[in-house]
Structure 1
Amino acid sequence: MVGTKATAASPVTLSAVEDRHAGGVFLSGRSHAGVQATADLVDRFTAAAGTQTPLWVATDQEGGEVQVLHGPGFDAMPYGIRQADLSDDQLRASAGRWGRGLAAAGVNVDLAPIADIVTSKATRLDNPPIGAFGRQYGYNESTVADKAGAFAEGMRDAGILPTFKHFPGLGHVSANTDTTADVVDTVVTTNGPDIDVYRPLTQAGPSAVMVSSAIYDRIDGSTPAVFSSKVVDVLRNQVGFSGVLFSDDLSQAVAVSAWSPADRAVKAISAGVDVLLVAEDASVFPAMYDAVLARALRDPQFAAQVDAAAARVLAAKADMP
């Protein structure tokens, strides 16, 4: 899934779709142009995709400071912590309205809602990626399950695939993986609420899950989660999720900057991730693509992982809400 600014069609991303058949496009940045202008932009990519497998078009439409698409046809979405003030039915209805705006613009995947459980209200500002931005739905498993679940149901009602993030949780870290290397979580365990919350969320209907690029000391302290088969195995085997796994951004995030783009791509797929998100810097996509292809041609086990990932993506596209 390759990024383009939400205000313009990147030639690199158009080439990724047309020439190398990338299966998804991510709209990044901020746009205030409204639904029709966004639909016109998306049409350029769907035309480039031609008659191949339907294109996933995704964005970050969470609410608050994390809302890419604005303007006529897109409602202003409140922060996650304010969405949580609504009843479950009210939130589902609101998310359905927000989702219908996305659908009218040609977007069919929302990289939301947030399933991270922030440690506490008192310490929320010490959690830069989630709590400091008010992205969280709450401070315990049941609240997050209810509210993130209601948001996801509303998106499904509108025909949008929701994506729960950031497995296995960014609610306890003290730095942001987008801007900081070696972000380490020392709280999340395989039998704790941060992982358990994914069970009811993913069992409720079609969804995807995004894997974090933080390091989880109590699961696999040796590497970022997005490169860890141990972390992915928890989601597959313990939570029982069989759907599509997205990486967090592998193009510009400082948390993965110690590895070359080629190595990031191979390591993520080797760990069991299905879709590589190349969100902020499309220029690294060719190196990632070439590395995955070269490895698959010489390594049958890796090729089987690529095939399995592709099969999950195709199944998810066929089973869109």
Structure 2
Amino acid sequence: MPQQAPLIIDVAGLSLSKIDRQRLKHPLVGGIILFARNWQDRAQLAQLCREIKRVRRDLLICVDHEGGRVQRFKTDGFTHLPPMRALGELWLNDGKAGEGAGAMRATNAATACGFVLGAELRACGVDFSFTPVLDLDFGESSVIGDRAFTRDPRVVSLLAKSLMHGLLQSGMANCGKHFPGHGFVKADSHTDIPVDKRSLKAILAEDAAPYGWLNSTLSSVMPAHVIYPKVDARPAGFSSKWLNDILRGQLGFGGAIFSDDLSMAGARLIDGQPVSYTQAAVAALNAGCDLVLLCNQSLASSDGGGLAVDELIDGLTEAQLKGGWQPQEASEARRRALLPCSPAPDWDALMVQPDYMHALALLP
């Protein structure tokens, strides 16, 4: 029978509890996502990552660490990375002659950002960051805002490719998000279900264009919890049309697909009906996701914190036994391909590495 470990879960604190270890040992769990609550300092983070790897070497340790306001670790030596808009502004600041010097400086700076981002995380034991944002900055979305490089999909693609080059230099894979685009809608899918009423043709011409242009560079993609009713009644992350027909078929993407957080409001209604975490996970996996995230549900407390994680693990196990979902070898191969292949230097060695010091000097 094919094996697959599609669940990415979180843990409550600064170290692993007994229940955390039990959950991480489960064969359906493929990784962990860290948050600021899991951070005290570099020594603690490195120890936590070692604890996780002692449970299972193949667990993918992830974090949302983009730069700007989405950066989980900001103290004890971590570089404060700029928001991606700063790179877009550097591109546009091209001088009087418009000779392209700003664009070239911006791509170089983007590579430096990617390298510093990936190298610092890896020096502490983190495998993977959900970056870069490929959404276009239409000036509408507060949840995206300065997380986007700029409005032009061509510039977004080239800056993202440069940033992904830097990640690659550090030994880290990448994740383009939020497919096919979250920048046009005002609503925040953490708290609402955004609806984008544009045509497929309009979306493919702009928002989704980077996914096709970067199909040989992207390691993974995260779809948006946004409904595009002229394409499908379901949010993109639960839509086989978006994930299989368009992203994989039409745009030629072959890497891993992550669901966005299943606890977000945009994931809690499918076809107009409220769904459980298990139902959402099964819908995402059957639509074409390889991995599904459930975030901020592990918090251990007297009021039963963490029950949602256990319910999801048990529910997906039952769905598999009953034939509601079947593991895919290809999905597991895509997950494992996101694990770093090369050893990372420790923090002290990184600090004096010439490539790292050079990259720091290039940051905007």
TM-score interval for Structure 1 and Structure 2 normalised by the shorter chain = 0.7 to 0.9
Aligned to 2:194: 183
Change (3 A) 1:130 1:188: farther
Secondary structure of 1:218's match? Answer: coil
Aligned twin of 1:277: 293
In structure 2, relative to structure 1, the CA distance for the partners of 1:118 and 1:187 (3 Å cut) is farther
Any idea what the Cα deviations from partners look like across 1:236-283, whole Å, max 9, x if unmatched? 101111111001001x21112221111011101110101011122133
Q: Residue type of the partner of 2:128?
A: V
Structure 2 residue identity aligned to 1:184: V
Match of 1:173 in 2: 185
* Contact kept in structure 1, 2:173 and 2:338, CA below 8 Å: no
CA contact (8 A) 1:80 1:137 kept: yes
Aligned to 1:75, which of 62, 79, 100? 79
CA offset digits 1:32-76 (Å, max 9, x no partner): 634332111111111122x5xx22111011111100112223100
1:199 and 2:180 are equivalent in the alignment: no
Q: Measured at CA, do residues 294 and 80 of structure 1 come closer, stay the same or move farther in structure 2, by a change above 3 Å?
A: same
Deviation of the 1:208 alpha carbon: 0.8
The equivalent residue for 1:55 is 59
The structure with more radius of gyration? 2
Q: Which moved more, 1:4-13 or 1:286-295?
A: 4-13
Residue deviations 1:87-135 (CA, integer Å, cap 9, x gap): 201220232022110000111111011000122xxxx1x312202xx11
1:224-303 aligned at under 5 Å gives the runs 224-233=235-244, 234-250=246-262, 252-257=263-268, 258-282=274-298, 283=306, 284-299=308-323, 302-303=325-326
Report the CA distance shift for 1:8/1:306 in structure 2 as closer, same or farther (over 3 A).
same
Q: How big is each residue's C-alpha offset from its partner over 1:272-305, in whole Å with a ceiling of 9 and x where there is no partner?
A: 1010111221332222222322222232x832x5
CA contact (8 A) 2:172 2:340 kept: no
| Distance 1:290-1:229 versus aligned 2 partners, 3 A rule | same
**Gap runs ≥5 in structure 2:** 1-7, 91-104, 269-273, 299-305, 344-364
1:115 corresponds to which of 134, 137, 141 = 134
Instruction: Name the counterpart of 1:309.
Output: 331
The structure whose RCO (Cα within 8 Å, separation 6+) is larger is: 2
Q: Secondary structure at the match of 2:133?
A: coil
User: Cα–Cα, structure 1 residues 307 and 62, in superposed 2: closer, same or farther, change >3 Å?
Assistant: same
**Matching residue of 1:94:** 113
Question: Is 2:39 the partner of 1:36?
Answer: no
Q: 1:67 & 1:139 partners in 2: Cα distance?
A: 22
Aligned length: 305
Identity of aligned residues (%): 28
Q: CA RMSD of the aligned region, Å?
A: 2.3
- Cα distance in 2 between the residues matched to 1:101 and 1:315: 20
Secondary structure of the residue that 2:225 maps to in structure 1? Answer: coil
Per-residue deviation, 1:223: 1.4
Is 1:156 equivalent to 2:138 in the alignment? no
Distance 2:12 2:342 in 1: 25
C-alpha contact 1:212 1:224 (8 A) present in aligned 2: yes
Stretch moving more, 146-155 or 168-177: 146-155
2:330 & 2:297 partners in 1: Cα distance? Answer: 26
Q: Secondary structure at the match of 1:202?
A: coil
Contact 1:6-1:28 at 8 Å conserved across structures: no
Q: In structure 2, the residue corresponding to 1:62 is in which secondary structure?
A: strand
Q: Tell whether 2:26 aligns with 1:22.
A: no
Tell me the distance in 2 between the aligned counterparts of 1:262 and 1:77.
Answer: 36
SS of the residue corresponding to residue 292 of structure 2 reads coil
**Normalization by structure 2: what TM-score?**
0.77
Asked if the contact 1:168/1:188 (under 8 Å) is kept, the reply is no
Q: How far, CA to CA, are the matches of 1:229 and 1:145 in structure 2?
A: 24
Deviation, 1:77, is: 0.9
Partner Cα separation in structure 1 for residue 164 and residue 227 of structure 2: 27
Q: Distance in 2 between matches of 1:113 and 1:28?
A: 17
- What is the alpha-carbon distance in structure 2 between the residues aligned to residue 43 and residue 115 of structure 1? 32
Please name the residue that 1:129 is paired with. 143
Residues 188 and 316 (structure 1), Cα distance of their counterparts in 2 relative to 1, 3 Å cut: farther
